[in-house]
Structure 1
């Protein structure tokens, strides 16, 4: 008996491991994002060197996510939740400290002193120790799921920021072409105005178009800077960082998108927030059982030694028992019953929300895919044909320069809309991955 109690105390003094739970979280992230990156709360020199090497080359989407997983300070903060939860597990496995009482009484006649020593331990605390440890472990498992879900959210933000930056780089380049065309039109209009071929109104309209193009290009440059900063932040890059050398163009459409029914089925099996909600239900069940057990009155056992000068020492056991006249723990039990019922309903609500969220995102993504294909296969080729035909007519002096410039402007606008639509598709695909809780490649 004493050996078993000593073993419990010894296990309760096990130091908290900083790496506890990280391997499980890493597996959650691998399933949710297809990223197998070592997870640690402290960067090694090897990891720092890896980040530097990824930044030196052409930065891909996967590389940006890897850097964020290794270097994002918010992720480092999130990982500390594991240490906090594991410390609670350790605390739950510890017995209450025994109480030592000592009393010394002196007689008024000065004939001697009466002493009494006792050591007291809560017996019910020992009996409930296994239940408390099980409850703490279930709470720890829930924290692991919540940490994994929070990390997946940062991955989603990083991917979205990458796509936005990538698209805006392309849009800024297109706007530069628009600016060149506006400059050419304004320069031509100025020469024609000097020759008396156009009036002041025509010249002013071309000047306004040039000013608008300059302002739009300036807005694009400012937005590009904001996009760079946002991606820097998500990757944990500090200071005045140089311009990121990311892949120039958005990726083309994948061959196909996953089926809606497969996506919903995978989400209900893989979503970490849903798993955490189910884990909360387990926690409330165990907490309710523990609360009912704790309704038993506190029992404390003690060993007492009493001695006085005129008597032989007396040694014997003692017991203290709470009398549950008023507080029998009924309020705590009622609260946990309500929380248990609430948790069951929340799971059903979350499942319904997941289905609805996925249907909406899947529909939007399908619409964007069709729009991208329409721009790619119909609209842009038509504009290219119009530009080519207009160039031929211009060469034979059958078409004016302003008309040719406008035709080229229309083609640039079509390409701009194509880039924006393709960007929106990839952002929606990223949101769908987040809503599913798993990569879409294997669905």
Structure 2
């Protein structure tokens, strides 16, 4: 009687386990939304239907109807960038892997009929992988860890796009501000060049001074052309990151960068904040946990790499003998004579140690990156603030005094033009300093929350994936 119930019990166990696996309602986007809201205070959307696409498109249109601040540009990108939507699709695919790993193997049913010499034999089998069933809980737990990592990777892709958009917005606004400055400078240089030409015609200015004014005008003209090209490219990059095209390319951005904050951020625990919040570091930690679980699974199955149970139902039909029926089961497994699993266990252990060292290295690097980002941020703030509070006001005083003295004929036109060139250089440097500050602030946020460049293949994520494949390849 016991032999007769092996196949039904196998089917019953498989059905019971299969009922535990299901897809989530949000495709795992809840974690992505929480991380993004906590890190940068923005909304995300995984567009999967025409209604959702219409809602997102309406939100983007509302944002584009106004002057795009950096925050608005980031929000447009998070809603509209198709590359980010593809990353969310990767998350949905990762959930399918989770469900697949959580399902028991399907039993295999086979039937065969053999006839000859007036006799026939019918054999039916139901075959199930007992090893796969025995290790299903451990494999399911590892798959859940992998899915949580996929959620964090999607969140990391979101933060990375936000950081790129913020930097692109700063670059585009600064480039536009530089174009305005050089446009005014070109008009002034053109006037002085024409004045120098007239003075030369009257003999009041020699050829050397005329050439100096002419070359200044020529250089400003070339600088303006280059600045316009840079502004066009910066705007195009911003549009690309926001996923805009066709009629949406007429979006507006501010003419000048925002004013500096009154005081810089004070973050005495910058290293602690970075270690606590960096998403890529959380992924590396999860890699280590997943590797530990993979190692336990390898040790548990090192001696048995294939174990199948077959429920057999065999009937023989022979005209010359009474029919009879055979029932039973067949167990097949490999005997570990040559390979006892030591190689796989050693591979998993060394891979774990490698990932642990990589994680430690990454933690050290994260702390260093946070310290350096904060130092750059404070330095950029001090430099930009110095231009705004010291250099530019002094330049304004000099300009006003030079104009007064020129009006009273205390200085000639050459001194006035020399001062104008020096003031232009200070204004250009001030724009660059303010741009560098806002870029440094974006980099500081990235150093704390994550979103830097894509990790190299030697990171713990790649190590963990290859280790799991190597450790589970015989299962």
TM class by smaller structure: over 0.9
State whether structure 2 residue 30 is matched by structure 1 residue 23. Answer: yes
| Residue-by-residue CA offset, 1:309-349 (whole Å, 9 max, x unaligned) | 32321222332233222333322221111111111111110
User: How far off its partner does 1:4 sit?
Assistant: 4.8
The SS at the match of 1:261 is coil
User: How far off its partner does 1:260 sit?
Assistant: 4.4
Residue equivalent to 2:381: 369
User: How far off its partner does 1:438 sit?
Assistant: 7.5
State whether structure 2 residue 194 is matched by structure 1 residue 187. Answer: yes
Match for residue 431 of structure 2 among 419, 422, 431: 419
State whether structure 2 residue 302 is matched by structure 1 residue 290. Answer: no
State whether structure 2 residue 363 is matched by structure 1 residue 356. Answer: no
Q: Name which of structure 1's ranges 273-282 and 249-258 shifts more when overlaid on structure 2.
A: 249-258
Distance 1:243 1:403 in 2: 43
Gapped regions of structure 2 (runs ≥ 5):
1-8, 452-475
Match runs of 1:152-163 below 5 Å: 152-163=159-170
Residue equivalent to 1:337: 349
Q: Name which of structure 1's ranges 229-238 and 16-25 shifts more when overlaid on structure 2.
A: 16-25
User: How far off its partner does 1:189 sit?
Assistant: 0.9
User: How far off its partner does 1:272 sit?
Assistant: 0.4
Match runs of 1:245-394 below 5 Å: 245-297=252-304, 298-308=306-316, 309=318, 310=321, 311-394=323-406
User: How far off its partner does 1:241 sit?
Assistant: 5.3
User: How far off its partner does 1:30 sit?
Assistant: 1.4
Distance 1:41 1:429 in 2: 34
Distance 1:58 1:102 in 2: 72
State whether structure 2 residue 120 is matched by structure 1 residue 113. Answer: yes
Distance 2:110 2:395 in 1: 94
Distance 1:242 1:341 in 2: 51
Residue equivalent to 1:428: 440
Change (3 A) 1:438 1:313: closer
Residue equivalent to 1:123: 130
State whether structure 2 residue 156 is matched by structure 1 residue 149. Answer: yes
Residue equivalent to 1:95: 104
Residue equivalent to 1:64: 73
Residue equivalent to 1:44: 53
User: How far off its partner does 1:99 sit?
Assistant: 2.5
Count of residue pairs the alignment pairs up: 435
Q: Name which of structure 1's ranges 326-335 and 130-139 shifts more when overlaid on structure 2.
A: 326-335
1:22 and 1:39 in contact (8 A); partners too: yes
1:19 and 1:40 in contact (8 A); partners too: no
Residue equivalent to 1:408: 420
| Residue-by-residue CA offset, 1:263-301 (whole Å, 9 max, x unaligned) | 211111110000000000011011111112222423322
| Residue-by-residue CA offset, 1:385-425 (whole Å, 9 max, x unaligned) | 11111111111122222322332332232122111111101
Distance 2:70 2:364 in 1: 32
Residue equivalent to 2:185: 178
State whether structure 2 residue 113 is matched by structure 1 residue 104. Answer: yes
2:299 and 2:345 in contact (8 A); partners too: yes
Gapped regions of structure 1 (runs ≥ 5):
none
2:264 and 2:381 in contact (8 A); partners too: no
Match for residue 165 of structure 1 among 169, 172, 192: 172
Distance 1:233 1:41 in 2: 22
Residue equivalent to 1:82: 91
State whether structure 2 residue 225 is matched by structure 1 residue 213. Answer: no
Length-normalised TM-score, structure 2: 0.87
Q: Name which of structure 1's ranges 202-211 and 426-435 shifts more when overlaid on structure 2.
A: 202-211
User: How far off its partner does 1:135 sit?
Assistant: 0.7
Distance 1:36 1:104 in 2: 63
| Residue-by-residue CA offset, 1:61-99 (whole Å, 9 max, x unaligned) | 111000000111221121122122111111112222223
The SS at the match of 1:96 is coil
| Residue-by-residue CA offset, 1:220-246 (whole Å, 9 max, x unaligned) | 111110011000011001247544311
The SS at the match of 1:253 is coil
User: How far off its partner does 1:39 sit?
Assistant: 4.4
Distance 1:41 1:74 in 2: 14
Q: Name which of structure 1's ranges 303-312 and 153-162 shifts more when overlaid on structure 2.
A: 303-312
Length-normalised TM-score, structure 1: 0.93
Distance 2:262 2:389 in 1: 15
